[in-house]
Amino acid sequence: MKHAFSIAVVVTWIVMAAVLVRKQTPLPAIDVASLPPIDEPDAPGAREASTDEWFGVYQGEHKIGHTHRVATRSATGWAFRDESSFSIAMLGTPQPLTTTLVAETTDAFALRTFDFTLVSPAATFNASGTSDGRRLEVGYGVDGRTDTMVVPLPEPIRLPGALRPRIAAAQPPAGTRFAHTVFSPLTLRTETSTSVVEGRETIDGVDTLRLAEEQQGLTARVWLARDGRAVREEGALGFVLRAEPRAKALAGVETGAPLDLALATRIPLTGKIVRPRDADALTFRVTGPAADLVPDDPPRQRMRDGVLRIVRETPPTGGAAPDARYTSPSPFVESDDAAIVARAREIVDQDTDAATKARHILRWVRTNMTQSPSLTVPSAREVLRTLRGDCNEHAVLLTALARAAGIPARVVAGVVYQDGDFFYHAWNELWLDGWVSADAVFAQMPTDATHVKLLEGGPERHAQLARVIGRLSFATLEEGS
């Protein structure tokens, strides 16, 4: 495969959160904080003053890493630490990852502080914050450079893992549904998380309560012992966490990165596309449980009754200008950074025509970026400094440079055809009297008809693509040139 097609946040999310997609029948939800406390040492299911849990991380039967979780009781609440290490690959390139989450909560598990770090060969991403229950102040960035944001809170944030002992102690009947608000350091937003009791099951000789933990339409399954310890967790692509003694958890990780996430998440195509980069029009039959998540986005992309039609757009004219969010800085798109502004001015020089400026910026990104698989959260400011990365890095840098040059721009994510299948990919849309697709990896504007758009938004939104992984198939119906 010639190019690096990876949506880093999606695959990182899968590894970290062990998510899978599974529909649930909506049920009335109980605020888990309303459950009786389990602070009494003799109460059934009472949690110890501290816990120290180790897990082996597996993909199928291959061991790819370990996770270590520690919970410690303090005078005013709880302290939590979660450390994980994984050995995976992207397009044949080893990508060892480590993640660390340190958090402090109140007695009721309401978040006070957190510090999350993701370390990959490409970069180190960090997000940390403090909360008073009404607002969350967050600092985030790559390789030590930090931006800040304030997130208003409708209610205190809670750690899902910290609430498990309370649910386990209550021994609720199957079908009981609990809800709470969480904050994702990868999406930089508060989200509703729910835990659904599915029943009781014996795992590895332990009587457990089986929960389905849902977030963003995604579900991870966990088996809890009576004291709230996780015995097993399962997720997408065969990811499994198994409770193990420390020595066993640390041992036996297979070398050579047995799982290639880009290949494991590709979408199969029935049929073939003879000249994909020249395709001006394509029609597909879309099947699978996630088919209804493929958007109808005219005029370029039409989705009707399971049939997807994509036509490479012609330059539009006379459209109403988009709102200011497409010309302003946003998370990971630091278009007001001095270096980005200076580079944009240098690239466009004296040109004033938006389409001409866009072509100059696209060409500059394509020419100056070194393509390299990258598992991290891309920041346009850092990409400009390193000029390395995959489609994510190309897309955020192009967006930032375009906005700095006065061209409304946004990142889009979806899939693109290459070597017989569709792979997850990120590219751009630039406003040139209408939205025009642009891809710096392929040096295309507009892009060929194999680019299937699934969502709009920067890296903070790409985790939502996990909802379609393993749940789509395409079949060619018609190819036009």
Among 157-161, 235-239, 399-403, where is mean pLDDT lowest? 157-161
Query: Which range in 132-136, 243-247, 267-271, 376-380 is most confidently predicted, on average pLDDT?
Result: 243-247
| Structure confidence by residue, pLDDT tens digits, 401-412 | 999 999 999 999
| Structure confidence by residue, pLDDT tens digits, 195-233 | 899 999 999 899 999 998 877 666 789 999 988 889 999
Cα separation values, 322 from 325, 326, 344, 407, 414, Å? 8, 7, 21, 10, 22
Pinpoint the residues of the chain covered by CATH 3.10.620.30.
Answer: 266-480
| Structure confidence by residue, pLDDT tens digits, 426-443 | 999 999 989 999 999 999
- Residue 75 corresponds to which tokens in the numbers above? 């005078």
- When pLDDT is averaged across residues 116-140 and rounded to a whole number, the result is 87
Query: Which range in 183-187, 279-283, 464-468, 477-481 is most confidently predicted, on average pLDDT?
Result: 279-283
- When pLDDT is averaged across residues 141-157 and rounded to a whole number, the result is 81
- Residue 293 corresponds to which tokens in the numbers above? 């998540």
- When pLDDT is averaged across residues 31-49 and rounded to a whole number, the result is 46
When pLDDT is cut at 50, 70 and 90, the band that residue 257 belongs to is low
| Structure confidence by residue, pLDDT tens digits, 352-392 | 899 999 999 999 999 999 988 777 778 899 899 999 888 98
When pLDDT is cut at 50, 70 and 90, the band that residue 31 belongs to is low
Rounded Cα distance between 68 and 83, Å, is: 5
Residue 51 pLDDT more than 90? no
DSSP secondary structure of 123-170 = -EEEEEEEE-SSEEEEEEEETTEEEEEEEE-SS--B-HHHHHHHHHHH
Residue 281 pLDDT more than 90? yes
When pLDDT is cut at 50, 70 and 90, the band that residue 173 belongs to is very high
Residue 8 pLDDT more than 70? no
Residue 183 pLDDT more than 80? no
* 411, amino acid identity: V
Rounded Cα distance between 166 and 32, Å, is: 8
The model carries a pTM of: 0.80
Nearest partner of 403 among 361, 454, 447, 457, judged by Cα:
361
Topology annotation, domain 266-480: C8orf32 fold (3.10.620)
When pLDDT is cut at 50, 70 and 90, the band that residue 282 belongs to is very high
Rounded Cα distance between 105 and 80, Å, is: 8
Residue 5 pLDDT more than 70? no
Q: Which residues touch 169 (CB under 8 Å, ≥6 apart)?
A: 35, 36, 38, 43, 44, 45, 46, 47, 226, 227, 228
Three-state DSSP class for residue 481? coil
Three-state DSSP class for residue 294? coil
> How high is the pLDDT of residue 313?
93
Residue 39 pLDDT more than 90? no
> How high is the pLDDT of residue 301?
96
When pLDDT is cut at 50, 70 and 90, the band that residue 258 belongs to is low
- When pLDDT is averaged across residues 122-146 and rounded to a whole number, the result is 85
Rounded mean pLDDT of the chain?
Answer: 83
- When pLDDT is averaged across residues 2-28 and rounded to a whole number, the result is 39
Q: Is the dihedral of CA 242, 243, 249, 252 positive or negative?
A: negative
Strand partners, 241: 57, 233
Residue 61 pLDDT more than 90? no
- When pLDDT is averaged across residues 149-178 and rounded to a whole number, the result is 81
Rounded Cα distance between 386 and 180, Å, is: 39
> How high is the pLDDT of residue 161?
60
Residue 129 pLDDT more than 80? yes
Rounded Cα distance between 300 and 247, Å, is: 55
